[in-house]
Amino acid sequence: MSDVKKTATRESYGNALKELGALHPDVIVFDADLSASTKTGVFRAAYPERHFNCGIAEGNMMAVAAGAAAMGLVPYASSFAMFASGRAFEQVRNSIGYTQLNVKIGATHGGISVGEDGASHQCCEDFALMRSIPGMVVMSPADDAEAKAMVFAAYDHPGPVYMRFGRAPVPAVHGDDYKFTIGKGETLAEGTDVAIIANGLCVAEALGARDILAQEGISARVINMGTIKPLDEELVLKAARECKKIVTCEEHSVIGGLGEAVCAVVAEAGLSCPVKRVGVQDVFGHSGPFTALLEEFGLTAPHIAEACR
């Protein structure tokens, strides 16, 4: 895939915010001293009067964003996933979730692909935390096109949205004509032996796993599940009925994320389709180059292929 264009979805976030800001004067952006990393600085360069630094105070930022939303503006509040979902959890839960105010959380640096910063900054719990808040939409894009589409879809969705973007460059799996709908998964490749349901950077790896499996005569369906909540239950159940097994794959703890969400849907429907969860196995990460970490924590194509056999 060396000829495929790679983009970190945090870059896509910053670029999309700038485009969105041109269309909608009610979009404002908050950041917590990370605008160079979250890429909200791209928006600030275009619309300095609508970008507000909150300093290193993420809890305050979330409740400030709630207040701005209560006044009819559409705030995008940004920090690293660890602090947006973890540090500020209670502000997100009470001031944004409980109120159902129209705040969009743009959380960058999700998962272990944060790399060298180490476990303190490698958030593998954000899907679990955000999924547990009633009415919160939770999304994680696979590539540049999907990340941009999500930023726009979030604007059109009334109510709170959590978007997780990555630090590491990921290859494009979509064309520029890609259409995204909140709550709808996408079948990227057909197959019947196994269905791989993935999101984020694991989608490209899942497609790689499909190629490996094809050489062994195993037919793998690949589903990109960009929205973790609300989950496209119909697409999951279709996979459970038509494939012999399901493998979920996410750059997140196996606890509380996409994998558990898929398990719940399959089990509650009374289907016997087995589900395996590929993800971070209830352990903390550590420092290192992100490619080595993805390998070590079992999130690359060969590991996914192994889980499918």
**Given 58, 146, 251, 260, which residue is catalytic?**
58
Minimum CB distance to other proteins, residue 262 (Å): 32
User: Catalytic: 58?
Assistant: yes
Residue 94 DSSP class = I
Minimum CB distance to other proteins, residue 182 (Å): 22
Minimum CB distance to other proteins, residue 29 (Å): 11
Select the span of 4-12, 36-44, 52-60, 191-199 touching other proteins (CB under 8 A): 52-60
Minimum CB distance to other proteins, residue 59 (Å): 5
DSSP 236-278: HHHHHHHSSEEEEEEEEESSSSHHHHHHHHHHHTT----EEEE
Bridge pairing between strands 6-8 and 169-171: antiparallel
Q: Pick from 166, 111, 112: which is nearest to 144 by CA?
A: 166
Minimum CB distance to other proteins, residue 93 (Å): 8
Q: Pick from 52, 48, 50, 49: which is nearest to 31 by CA?
A: 52
22: left (phi over 0), alpha (psi -120 to 50) or beta: alpha
Nearer to other proteins, 93 or 238 (CB): 93
Select the span of 70-78, 113-121, 257-265, 292-300 touching other proteins (CB under 8 A): 70-78
Select the span of 69-77, 180-188, 246-254, 292-300 touching other proteins (CB under 8 A): 69-77
Nearer to other proteins, 134 or 270 (CB): 134
* Interface with other proteins, residue 158, by CB under 8 A: no
Per-residue mark of binding to other proteins, 86-125 (x: CB under 8 A): ----xx--xx--xxx-------------------------
Bridge pairing between strands 74-80 and 186-189: unpaired
* Interface with other proteins, residue 28, by CB under 8 A: yes
Nearer to other proteins, 157 or 184 (CB): 157
DSSP 120-186: GG-B--HHHHHHTSTT-EEE--SSHHHHHHHHHHHHHS-S-EEEE--SSEEE--S-TT----TT--E
Question: How far is CA 47 from each of CA 61, 108, 186, rounded to the nearest angstrom?
Answer: 19, 20, 34
Please pick, from the candidates 1, 22, 45, 70, the single residue that binds other proteins as defined by CB under 8 A: 70
CA 113 to chain centroid, in Å, comes to 13
Binding site for other proteins (CB under 8 A): 28, 49-50, 52, 54-55, 57, 59-60, 62-73, 75, 90-91, 94-95, 98-100
Catalytic annotation, residues: 58
